[in-house]
Structure 1
Amino acid sequence: MFRRDFIAAGALALLGTAPALAQQSRKAAARAPVILVVGDSLSAEYGLPRGSGWVALLEKRLAQEKIGATVVNASVSGDTTAGGRARLPALLRQHGPTHVVIELGANDALRGLPLTNTRDNLAWMVEQSQAAGARVLLVGMQMPPNYGADYARRFAALFEAVAKERKVPLVPFLLHGIADVPDSTALFQPDRIHPRAEAHPRMLDNVWPQLRKLL
């Protein structure tokens, strides 16, 4: 009798916790998205008026689409994938993002850093973001032809490889329609590295389709 009563009491206790667990799950699912952007100068509004970069434009797009999401722009000009890797754990703890956009790698190439390191750092950042419960969007970059066809191919391929391995969506080239058009210099600042403000809506248009799916 004691054993039957004990089992019955345990079952009732478990049943009693089920609604609470279901409620917690619903609250988590209903939590407003927090989009963490971890990038370099291309996302940090380098040389631009405040509010004109693609991340700021993303906030406006979300409002227009009536998507109640918060955007945290944790981009740092000059940052590499190693720098992003070092900063990421604290950012995940501080902001608890539901979505992480990783836009890094260009400075690795500009500094001639080993491509294996770039790939490993990106893969680690994606893995850690996923482990924290976030959906990840990887933003790719491409190098101009003067870096050599083989290097440019291998650099672009590393983003594809990480996206495939970690099963995350990829924006193949953030500067598509900007750096790969005939008169591209008109869309860049005098340094010919950073896009002018008028190019940033196109950058957002390159990112938005994949990000919208995740939201």
Structure 2
Amino acid sequence: MKITNLNSLILAIFCLVFLNSCKNEEKQSPSSSEENPVEKQVSAENKKEEAPVVLFFGTSLTAGLGLDTAEAYPDLIQKKMDSLGMDYSVVNAGLSGETTASGLNRLDWVFKQNVDILVLELGANDGLRGVSLDETRKNLEQIINTAREKNPDVKIILAGMQIPPNMGEEYTSEFRSLFPDLAKEYHLELIPFLLEGVAGDPELNQQDGIHPTAEGQQILANNVWKVLKDEL
């Protein structure tokens, strides 16, 4: 008898909770004139997916090696655009150790989405390793041509780079000229030197002397923004 009463009590509590839950759902259900929260979320996600894509394709400088991803210059530029109400979606495709040759192997992944603006930051690791400048040039040309095949209307910004004179004066000079020459030939916008204001400054670089600190990344973002803002 006690068990029966207990079961009845549990059943009564369950019914009460169920009824209250139904009433709360009725109160929270939007009327026909209100937007369903789920539909609103899906709409926002679709809008984000449809936003023009700015893709940063680069090395550890773009990836933000040694820092939080949010401190890397592509993320800083995303925040900049968001603050200005610009509806763009940034994709950070930076990878530590990336060369122009390994970049070619990633093209299918890099261009899996439609790219509206491509910021191409490759070549620094080629220079540091003394890769043939002809090979570096051919690889960059192929990346540029592939981007245009994927989207004929893509805007391409090339990040210019410089290297220390370890490889000799001739190689260093030709490497520096490679980027403006490509920009001129392929009608690209050019960031003269991505690391302008950062390279060689111990206070703006991590202990390795190569990769920018968070403060250094902010300067990189400004260097990129000077050119990118006119393409948006």
Specify every segment of 5 or more residues in structure 2 that has no aligned partner in the other structure, as ranges. 1-49
Query: Structure 2 matches for 1:174-213, cutoff 5 A?
Result: 174-179=194-199, 184-213=201-230
The count of aligned residue pairs is: 181
Could you say which structure has the greater relative contact order, defined with CA pairs below 8 angstroms and 6 or more residues apart? 1
CA RMSD of aligned residues (A): 1.3
Instruction: Indicate conservation of the 8 Å contact 2:130/2:167, yes or no.
Output: no
* 2:90 matches 1:71: yes
Equivalent residue for 2:61, pick from 42, 52, 57? 42
* 2:75 matches 1:60: no
Deviations 1:93-115 (A, max 9, x none): x2111111110111111111111
Give the counterpart letter for 2:225 in structure 1: W
Query: What secondary structure sits across from 1:108 in the alignment?
Result: helix
* 2:137 matches 1:132: no
Identical residues among aligned pairs (%): 41
For residue 51 of structure 1, report the CA deviation from its aligned partner: 0.7
Give the counterpart letter for 2:191 in structure 1: V
Query: What secondary structure sits across from 1:95 in the alignment?
Result: coil
Query: What secondary structure sits across from 2:144 in the alignment?
Result: helix
Give the counterpart letter for 1:106 in structure 2: A
Equivalent residue for 2:102, pick from 67, 70, 83? 83
Residue 165 of structure 2: aligned partner: 145
For residue 56 of structure 1, report the CA deviation from its aligned partner: 1.0
In structure 1, how many angstroms separate the alpha carbons of the residues matched to 2:128 and 2:166?
Answer: 12
Deviations 1:2-54 (A, max 9, x none): xxxxxxxxxxxxxxxxxxxxxxxxxxxxx631011110100101001231111
Alignment TM-score, normalising by the size of structure 1: 0.80
Which of 1 and 2 has greater Rg? Answer: 2
Equivalent residue for 1:32, pick from 47, 51, 55? 51
Query: What secondary structure sits across from 2:203 in the alignment?
Result: helix
In structure 2, how many angstroms separate the alpha carbons of the residues matched to 1:49 and 1:74?
Answer: 15
Residue 175 of structure 2: aligned partner: 155
For residue 88 of structure 1, report the CA deviation from its aligned partner: 1.5
* 2:128 matches 1:107: no
In structure 1, how many angstroms separate the alpha carbons of the residues matched to 2:85 and 2:78?
Answer: 11
In structure 2, how many angstroms separate the alpha carbons of the residues matched to 1:83 and 1:63?
Answer: 32
Residue 51 of structure 1: aligned partner: 70
In structure 1, how many angstroms separate the alpha carbons of the residues matched to 2:193 and 2:142?
Answer: 21
Give the counterpart letter for 1:194 in structure 2: H
Specify every segment of 5 or more residues in structure 1 that has no aligned partner in the other structure, as ranges. 1-30
